[in-house]
Structure 1
């Protein structure tokens, strides 16, 4: 069979004429038109920072400056300090004075705290009673710097001639010179009417001392009452059996004791302590002449008034005195007995103390005292605020009463103490 030889044709001949033309026209440049530009080329370089970039930049700037402001506003620091501590087994007798000489322990008084409570009890008939009005007066000594003793039953007279008397001997402190001015010495004491009856139930009044008439002291000693005199009565009241009265009085004493003690501690400064055996309460039955009208036919009321005064010690002064007398080679640095409230206090001359005019006391203090040495916190904070961060431990070392200390910051990236002192917390860590 003869070979069949087919003629080869070009692509141009195979493709349809119109398709080939379209293909060549679309993809091949001609001499009459410029080549097309690539669509992904930015021919305007000045527009490369678009709106999105600018918004992002502004947000970052706000966040940076806002973060700085927030850090300054909310920043706080905590300084944790472990002070030098120690234990001391204590059983020692101490002396203290109302006006202590230099080097001796001083005490103060909380006094003039009064309260009244009453209780309804069964009544059986009536009885005639005669009671004297009484109340508190403040006696002033503007004569000189010498204290003045006033004997029991010393008279005090109102402008209209009513006489009231003190029951016990007292001592009125002498005047003092303060800022160039003489300030009278003073003492508060209860006085009783010379006679029974409601006529002596008077309001606040001025008093003189008749016994000083004709003496220069007459014009320099005087007294005032602020709450007036009450309790004076003569007449019939409902009768209460002695057993019922005694039971009621015991109950009223417990109620008054709790209230008076709570009020005394409220009035005491925060850095003072009132021990359980360092206070006195006097109780007095109060007669109300209207009980017969207010009570039912078969009931009466027993009323009791309590008057409180107590001996206060400055915690720092007492702690220092204990250390001074009981620690060998005491270094003299300030310290506190942390568990002072748990120490056993006993007043030795209790029976000799007859009222708030007490000048000197003796007492024992017993227990396992937990001593905590003190340091000046404000001085420490000031020095830390002025020091670079790498010098903090060197600052702590300047305070010998500090055993260990550390500093923490919030936010964590903050490394400086806040300018606001209220945002700096000092945490004292002590062992139990």
Structure 2
């Protein structure tokens, strides 16, 4: 029986791989019921590409092959292209001749001669064979699957020893050395202990205490109740204008005020009343009252003139003596050195010279002008005192004396619409430093612990103030409510705390009298003991309010 080739467009030609050749024997071999021997699974299977479906047609007149006596188990024709028998021998399909195939088929039985059940079984097997070649191959294994199918091998790994470069060692060692140096410097040279202390304060009632201020005292004497002070004394003179309201026929002389200077010597010079003063144009005026010109100030041969003011009156009546500011000489000194060293000068015009009916000052006008000038002079002297008090000193009420020493006013019926009143005054006072007063009060209460007077929290009254000008002393009584704080010695405390541990410092400060609270800080923070150097123990004592 001739061989029926099964081929399609993928069927190899002669010389191609025999694995792609198929024959009827290859197809019908499974009908014999033979089983393929088990093969050892390969380590890695390569999935063959899916072959195209191969149509198989068998003529109806073709004889049906009978099963061979020896069952053969087909192996994958794609891989080997041969049949393998149960005894282990195999014959490639390409080695079977056509005569053998015809002989094999002639021994078979016609399909139509088979029982119906066997025919159906053969048809079922044919369909199974056809479906086998029509089925798509399994999808190719993914790389991950292939890797899993490869035999696993265990490898051990040991890291290689890395050599650190020399410069890394040098830089690292230098950095550690610098860090160690910084730590040592901070712990020794720059080590500090900062302690902030708040002193203890208390409020007490001050009973009446007599105090005395003496300019001759050099320091506070708590046992005598004496504090040092400053004596203040000065004089001043001012001119004030008054208005005249009366009318009368007059025959009056002009008058004015001059300043007399002594540049001759340090000895005072007395000028009697009616001493002549002459202007540069020959007008003569006479001194109204006797005066004493103070002596000049002589310092290393340098003479500073001293002065005094006085009123001079024209030698005759008439308005020709109503002159403006002028210079005067004293003709009585002519021919002596005093002629050029004793001089006079007026700063204001002379008034009052008149012969005839004129406006004159009445008694009421003069009295009113004197009262106003005196009050203004008193206020001026008091204001001047405030400017002459030394910085840091204070003058309590009753510790000053303001006096009007002289009032020079024209007589009644003095001609002129206005007239001039000259007022002289003098101030005497004793000032003292308020801190000295507070320290004396604190000293009275400092029996065992030194105290500090706190003025911001104290209220002290000054009573029975008495100024003794003759002795140049001031006495008064103080009383009220006072606040006192503890006086602490930071240097002595720093010496006691140097070299002590934190616990010892806490014990010493808590045991010291007069300390209300404190704060302590070490630098650097890892220190636990104060430096032995006293200067590195920084103690700050909080100041008292207003102290």
TM-score, normalized by length of structure 1?
0.51
- Which of residues 10, 20, 41 in structure 1 aligns to 2:160? 41
What's the offset of the Cα at 1:254?
Answer: 4.9
Offset of 1:408 from its aligned partner?
Answer: 1.7
Query: Alpha-carbon deviation of 1:365?
Result: 1.0
Q: Report what 1:374 is aligned to.
A: 487
Aligned to 1:57: 176
8 A contact 1:77–1:410 mirrored in 2 = yes
CA distance in 2, matches of 1:9, 1:113: 135
> In 2, Cα distance between the equivalents of 1:123 and 1:283?
22
Q: Which residue of 1 aligns with 2:462?
A: 345
2:469 to 322, 340, 354: 354
Query: Which has the larger Rg?
Result: 2
Question: For the aligned residues, what is the CA RMSD?
Answer: 5.7
Q: 1:371 to 1:311 in 2, by over 3 A?
A: same
Match of 2:257 in 1: 129
Deviation for aligned residue 1:104? 1.5
Q: How far off is 1:281 after superposition? A: 5.5
Q: Is this contact kept in 2: 1:130–1:196, CA < 8 A? A: no
- Structure 1 396/106 Cα, relative in aligned 2: closer, same or farther at 3 Å? same
Aligned to 2:297, what secondary structure does the other structure show?
Answer: coil
| Shift in CA distance, 96/110, structure 1 to aligned 2, threshold 3 Å | closer
Counterpart of 1:425 in structure 2 is 540
**Partner Cα separation in structure 2 for residue 347 and residue 280 of structure 1:** 14
Gap change, CA 1:226 and 1:374, over 3 Å in 2:
farther
Give secondary structure in 1 for the equivalent of 2:542: strand
> Could you tell me which residue of structure 1 aligns to residue 430 of structure 2?
310
Residue 343 of structure 1 and its aligned partner are, at CA, apart by: 0.6
Deviation at 1:68, TM superposition (A): 4.6
Instruction: Find the aligned partners of 2:234 and 2:522 in 1 and give their Cα distance.
Output: 50
- Show the 5 A alignment for 1:263-282: 264-266=390-392, 268=393, 274=394, 276-277=396-397, 279-280=399-400, 282=402
Extract unaligned runs of 5+ from structure 2: 1-30, 48-146, 245-253, 271-288, 313-345, 352-365, 408-417
Question: Are 2:222 and 2:443, in contact at CA under 8 Å, matched by a contact in 1?
Answer: no
In 2 relative to 1, CA 331–247 (structure 1 residues): closer, same or farther, beyond 3 Å? closer
User: Secondary structure in 2 aligned to 1:103?
Assistant: coil
Stretch deviating more after TM superposition (390-399 or 4-13) = 4-13
Aligned length: 315
CA distance in 1, matches of 2:497, 2:183: 27
Instruction: State the Cα distance separating 1:391 from its structure 2 match.
Output: 2.4
Are positions 1:5 and 2:118 aligned together?
A: no
SS in 2 for 1:107: strand
Please state whether the residue corresponding to 2:306 is helix, strand or coil: coil
1:252 has 2:390 as partner: no
Q: TM-score, normalised by structure 2?
A: 0.42
- Listed as ranges, the matches of 1:15-414 within 5 Å are 40-44=159-163, 53=172, 57=176, 60-61=179-180, 64=183, 67-68=186-187, 71-72=190-191, 75=192, 77-83=194-200, 85-94=202-211, 98=216, 103-112=223-232, 127-129=255-257, 161-163=267-269, 196=291, 200=294, 202-204=296-298, 229-233=306-310, 235=312, 237=348, 241-242=369-370, 245-246=373-374, 248-261=376-389, 264-266=390-392, 268=393, 274=394, 276-277=396-397, 279-280=399-400, 282=402, 309-312=429-432, 314-315=436-437, 318-319=440-441, 322-323=444-445, 331=447, 333-339=449-455, 342-350=459-467, 353-354=468-469, 357-359=471-473, 361-385=474-498, 387-396=500-509, 399-400=512-513, 402-409=514-521, 411=523, 413=525
> How far apart are residue 349 of structure 1 and its match?
3.0
Q: Is the 8 A contact 1:278 1:311 kept in 2?
A: no
Cα offsets for 1:174-229 (capped at 9, x unmatched): xxxxxxxxxxxxxxxxxxxx9648x75733469xxxxxxxxxxxxxxxxx999863
3-state DSSP of counterpart to 1:41: coil
Measure the CA separation in 1 of the matches of 2:34 and 2:234: 145
Q: 1:3 to 1:67 in 2, by over 3 A?
A: farther
Taking a change above 3 Å as real, the CA distance of residues 317 and 91 of structure 1, as seen in their structure-2 partners, is same
Confirm or deny: 8 A CA contact 1:336 1:373 kept in the other structure.
yes
